């Protein structure tokens, strides 16, 4: 069986996902695309795919069995609600939405529908290195996790489009989600410190240093730097009671020559997480073909949104901003069942 998919948003990641859905993965066909920039949608459309005038037309089309949302964050809510109303499985790039109220509206709609339809694009959960790290922690031989050091560095971000809020409400959401998943824990409070500003980003608030307080008492420190120049560098190290487990550098090949011993550094997220995105869509296609969703859920998107909101408040207050979540609806499983 082939899953017939429509893509909303044909910018950077939309085009990359169209490439993987048409050239890399099987069991799927891109039958429709749409973008507010119709010329961009037409240029990105695979042969034979229809270019729809609006997201609503794409979602309601009988040709489209499942939807992939790659538009900007503030547009996600309306498109998610339309996909849920149509009863169609939907993959939504992060962030799920951009406010707590919007996350609750999406959750309410999915719970009322009665079956999971939404998978959020937290691709780190599908990365082989993060999965091995989680297996070590869950294995328990190192004892309880006490601290997680997460480093999230981008070489650069689009000038003018990436604002000072975005390190916290666009970039940090990955670290928030992976911390919850790796430690099987929830975030209960957030602090933010703003160090000396990098001159490379102009007036942009960059870098930022974030401290996540977890329900277990574990602490997570996150460095977000979005103009680090040298490449896309993602690091993670978990300090446990009886040992430490860390991600390897990627790519893993070590070159030794007259310049010394070194490893290459990926240019951006497309390169670093290429296999994780492939695996995230393999698993999405399998679930969507059954009319449902697995993997990171609306609940996980809601949790990351709360962290982003609290982090933005913490910049202003310079204090610990508490997070309180609603009771978890049964649709999203128990707290400990946070597998990808």
| Closer to ligand NAD by Cβ: residue 19 or 40 | 40
Cα-flanking dihedrals φ and ψ of residue 218, to 5°? -65, 155
Q: Which does 70 bind (CB under 5 to 8 A by kind): ligand ISE, ligand NAD, none?
A: ligand NAD
CB closer to ligand ISE out of 138 and 268: 268
- Phi, psi (degrees; rounded to nearest 5) at 135: -65, -35
DSSP state letter for 187? E
Residue in 61, 71, 154, 279 binding ligand ISE, rule: CB under 6 A: 154
The H or E element that residue 237 is part of is: strand 233-240
Nearer to ligand NAD, 72 or 209 (CB): 72
What is the Cα–Cα distance from 119 to 305, expressed in whole angstroms? 15
If the CB atoms of residues 53 and 335 are measured against ligand NAD, the closer one turns out to be 53
Tell me if 36 contacts ligand NAD by CB under 6 A.
yes
CB contact set of 2 (below 8 Å; sequence gap of 6+):
27, 28, 29
Bridge partners of 6, per DSSP, are 32, 67
Residue span binding ligand NAD (CB under 6 A) among the ranges 72-80, 112-120, 213-221, 330-338: 72-80
Within residues 159-198, the interface with ligand ISE by CB under 6 A covers: 170-171, 174
How many amino acids of this chain bind ligand ISE (CB under 6 A)? 6
Compute the distance between CA of residue 186 and CA of residue 181 in angstroms, rounded to an integer.
9
Q: Which is nearer to ligand NAD, 218 or 228 (CB)?
A: 228
Interacting residues with ligand NAD between 184 and 213 (CB under 6 A): none
Contact 233, 153 (CB under 8 A): yes
250 sits near ligand ISE (criterion: CB under 6 A): no
* Partner that binds at residue 138, options ligand ISE, ligand NAD, none, CB closer than 5 to 8 Å by kind: none
Cβ-closest residue to ligand NAD?
Answer: 11
Contacts of 45 (CB under 8 A, 6+ apart): 10, 30, 33, 51
Using CB under 6 A, which of 72, 99, 184, 188 touches ligand NAD?
72
| Residue of 260, 160, 168 whose CA lies nearest to 211 | 168
Instruction: Name, in order, each residue with C-beta under 8 angstroms of 50's C-beta and a sequence gap of 6 or more.
Output: 31, 32, 33, 61, 63
Q: Supply the Cα-derived Rg of the chain in whole angstroms.
A: 20
Q: If contact means CB under 5 to 8 A according to the sort of partner, which of ligand ISE, ligand NAD, none does residue 14 touch?
A: ligand NAD
Which positions touch ligand NAD (CB under 6 A)?
Answer: 8-14, 34-37, 40, 55, 70-73, 75, 93-94, 121, 123, 170, 269
- List contacts with ligand ISE (CB under 6 A): 94, 154, 170-171, 174, 269
């Amino acid at each position: 069986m082939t899953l017939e998919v429509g893509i909303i948003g044909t910018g950077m990641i939309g085009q990359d996902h169209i490439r993987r859905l048409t050239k890399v993965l099987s069991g799927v066909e891109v039958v429709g695309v749409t973008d507010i920039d119709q010329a961009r949608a037409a240029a990105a459309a695979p042969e034979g795919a229809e270019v729809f005038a609006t997201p609503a037309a794409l979602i309601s089309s009988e040709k489209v069995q499942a939807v992939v949302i790659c538009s900007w964050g503030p547009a996600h809510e309306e498109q998610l609600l339309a996909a849920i109303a149509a009863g169609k499985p939907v993959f939504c790039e992060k962030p799920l939405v951009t406010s707590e109220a919007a996350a609750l509206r999406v959750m309410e709609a999915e719970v009322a529908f009665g079956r999971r339809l939404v998978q959020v694009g937290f691709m780190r959960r599908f990365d082989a290195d993060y999965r091995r790290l989680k297996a070590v922690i869950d294995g328990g031989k190192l004892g309880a996790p006490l601290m997680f050091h997460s480093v999230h560095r981008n070489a650069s971000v689009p000038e003018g489009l990436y604002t000072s809020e975005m390190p916290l409400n666009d970039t940090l959401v990955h670290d928030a989600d992976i911390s919850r998943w790796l430690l099987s824990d929830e975030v209960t409070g957030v602090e933010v410190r703003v160090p000396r500003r990098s001159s490379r980003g102009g007036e942009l608030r960059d870098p930022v240093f974030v401290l996540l307080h977890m329900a277990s008492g574990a602490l997570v420190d996150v460095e977000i730097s979005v103009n680090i120049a040298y490449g896309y560098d993602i690091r993670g190290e978990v300090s446990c009671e009886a040992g430490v487990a860390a991600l390897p550098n990627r790519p893993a090949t070590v070159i030794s020559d007259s310049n010394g011993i070194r490893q290459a550094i990926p240019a951006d997220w497309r390169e670093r997480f290429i296999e994780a995105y492939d695996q995230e869509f393999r698993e999405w296609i399998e679930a969507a073909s059954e009319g449902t969703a697995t993997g990171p859920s609306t609940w996980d998107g809601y949790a990351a949104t709360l962290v982003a909101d609290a982090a933005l408040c913490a910049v202003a207050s310079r204090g610990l901003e508490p997070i309180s979540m609603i009771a978890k609806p049964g649709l999203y499983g128990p707290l400990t069942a946070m597998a990808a």
